[in-house]
Amino acid sequence: MNYIYFDNAATTKLDDKVLEEMLPYLKENYGNASAIYKLGKASHIKVEEARERIANIFNAKKDEIYFTAGASESDNLAIKGIAYANKSKGKHIITSKIEHPAVLETCKELEKEGYEVTYLNVDSNGLVSTDELKKEIREDTILITIMYANNEIGTIEPIKEIGAIAKENNIIFHTDATQAVGTIKIDVEDLNIDSMSLSAHKFYGPKGIGALYMRKGVRFNPIINGGHQEKGKRAGTLNTPGIIGMAKALELSYEDLEEKNKKIKELRDYYFEKVKEKIPYIKINGDLEKRLVGNANISFRFIEGEGLLLNLDNKGICASSGSACTSGSLDPSHVLLAIGLPHEIAHGSLRISIGKYNTKEEVDYLIENLVEIVERLRNMSPLYEDFIKEEK
Amino acid sequence: MDYSDKVIDHYTNPRNVGEIENASGIGTVGNPVCGDIMKIYLKIENGVITDVKFKTFGCGAAIASSSISTELIKGQTVEKALELKNGDVVEQLDGLPPVKMHCSLLAEQAIHEAIADYYRKEGKLTEEEIIEKCKLKNNHNACPHQIDSL
């Protein structure tokens, strides 16, 4: 089957140019980067070169980049690592209600260990209030962790303002930038970011490799113990092909960034326009301006998201939903509930995430099928039936 | 979601979708908070279900459970339809993922509610008898945070 892929916020297709750079390190150059002989040294050189390439993109220093297995590990390492190493200063952390589970669940674990966590509210567009943040800062606040951009609704948080507030109060600032890296230019100095998580497979790189930027001087403990790799902060043999692939993918992402973003945004706005024109009773979720270019999250009233996804899948279309049925729990997405959507409207959400390989023809195909599927599911919905009767 | 071919077939081409005008009995269970609502319409003549239609707001498993249940009770006597268990629905669908079991229970309960509605309209049985016969006291527990908003 030919897939029409609109789930680029979940993962992306590996870029052929990235694979090309990785291949020699999956085949003949298999040496352990920590080994002393020439075969290992060759890997070591490439890994350190990649570290520098990655640091340069974010205006960071080479020795501020730590390699991990992905953003979930980076979030765990940053939050737990900072919390453990700084507990003599305090045990209070501030985060938001719409973070990725890798942040939320890590914070919940720390609460069990005696840390206190404040979960900031967001407004109906998913934006954190910097005034509320200022009010929640305490003497014992050691860490602020707020995502750069939300994975479900695409809202971009006021990172620069948050960074300034953190700096002013001498609090460490971590951001989960998983969704932002590759589509937004990030300068850690300008934004006062002390710690930042990223994952290669979100920007056309390989899966299973990520990084944590950690500003020099920030104290943090390792969470994976073992060998001396990554200055003792992250044990485990370095993923040489992954690291090389991540560096390449990152560089490619920031080449012609504005041009690519413009094209993606045009497709996204076209999708919004067409859906608004052709399908009644919808709600666009998230901020329309402060938004990732590829993200389109829409709630279709009176229908449930899983039914929508399954029918799209029958047409070869890959997308995502915040319904309970797809989250594997009984509640719909915590993000959609946090922006104030009632349960039944949150259940009917559809997230389309557009990437660099998508075309206008694909968006047209999606809309054509969506119109038909939404109509069919609504005709099957007792909620729609009641609504129409009330309208009459 | 790991759905059987039978489930996929039923949510892709659901049978008996719709409403019945002047239905003999209508049953609605579930609520929008949980993300599942099932509504069953029955036409009953001389104690036999001659027609059945459904409307469902819910996931693939909920739609498939409703669809196959309508097929299973169509042409059956009311007594026979009351014997339909959620386990039968699951079996007929070649299984459901564990997190989706409550969908089959909703189908069973929607049928029981529709038959209870029929008995009430018929007026021959007391409310206690209807509750007993249709096992209504066990109903409305398929959704773990059931709020009787309907």
Interval A101-149: pLDDT, tens:
999 999 999 999 999 999 999 999 999 999 999 999 999 999 999 999 9
Measured CA angle at A66 (ends A205, A354), to 5 deg: 30
Asked if A325 is an active-site residue, the reply is yes
A31-42 confidence digits (pLDDT tens): 999 999 999 999
pLDDT at A86 > cutoff 80? yes
Does A113 contact chain B (CB < 8 Å)? Answer: no
CB contact under 8 A, A314 and B32: no
Nearest Cβ partner of B58 from A307, A330, A379? A307
Nearest Cβ partner of A381 from B8, B57, B59? B57
pLDDT (0 to 100) of residue A11: 96
Average pLDDT estimate for A212-240: 97
Partners of B26 on chain A (C-beta within 8 Å) are none
Beta strands in B46-128 (DSSP E): 48-57
Amino acid at B23: A
Lowest-confidence range among A71-85, A236-250, A298-312, B25-39? B25-39
* C-alpha distance from B38 to closest chain A C-alpha (Å): 7
Torsion angle defined by CA atoms of residues A5, A6, A9 and A14, in that order, rounded to the nearest 10 degrees: 20
Please tell me the distance from the alpha carbon of residue A245 to that of residue A207, in angstroms, as a whole number.
10
pLDDT at A325 > cutoff 70? no
Nearest Cβ partner of A325 from B19, B55, B59? B59
Task: Indicate which of B17, B57, B96 best probes the interface with A, i.e. most A CBs within 10 Å of its own CB.
Answer: B57
CB contact under 8 A, A310 and B17: no
pLDDT at A224 > cutoff 70? yes
Residue A204 in tokens: 């056309």
Closest CA to A367 of A384, A388, A352: A352
pLDDT (0 to 100) of residue B142: 53
What is the SS3 assignment for B74? Answer: coil
Left, alpha or beta for A298 (phi > 0: left; psi -120 to 50: alpha)? beta
Average pLDDT estimate for A2-30: 97
Does A344 contact chain B (CB < 8 Å)? Answer: yes
Mean pLDDT across chain A: 96
pLDDT (0 to 100) of residue A157: 98
Residue A201 in tokens: 């497979």
Nearest Cβ partner of A344 from B33, B59, B63? B33
pLDDT (0 to 100) of residue B31: 85
Please tell me the distance from the alpha carbon of residue B14 to that of residue B23, in angstroms, as a whole number.
20
pLDDT (0 to 100) of residue B135: 84
pLDDT (0 to 100) of residue B48: 97
Q: Which candidate in A325, A337, A371, A383 is catalytic?
A: A325
Q: Which helix (H) or strand (E) holds A119?
A: strand A116-120
Asked if B134 is an active-site residue, the reply is no
Residue A328 in tokens: 């594997």
User: Any idea what DSSP says for residue A391?
Assistant: H
pLDDT (0 to 100) of residue B148: 38
User: Any idea what DSSP says for residue A14?
Assistant: P
* C-alpha distance from B12 to closest chain A C-alpha (Å): 7
* C-alpha distance from A326 to closest chain B C-alpha (Å): 8
CB contact under 8 A, B60 and A306: yes
What is the SS3 assignment for A233? Answer: coil
Do A273 and A245 meet the contact criterion of CB atoms below 8 Å apart?
no
Half-sphere exposure of A124 (CA within 13 A, CB side): 5
Partners of B39 on chain A (C-beta within 8 Å) are 382, 385
pLDDT (0 to 100) of residue B99: 85
CB contact under 8 A, B59 and A381: no
Residues of chain B falling short of pLDDT 70? 137-150
pLDDT at A28 > cutoff 50? yes
pLDDT (0 to 100) of residue B130: 92
Do A147 and A168 meet the contact criterion of CB atoms below 8 Å apart?
no
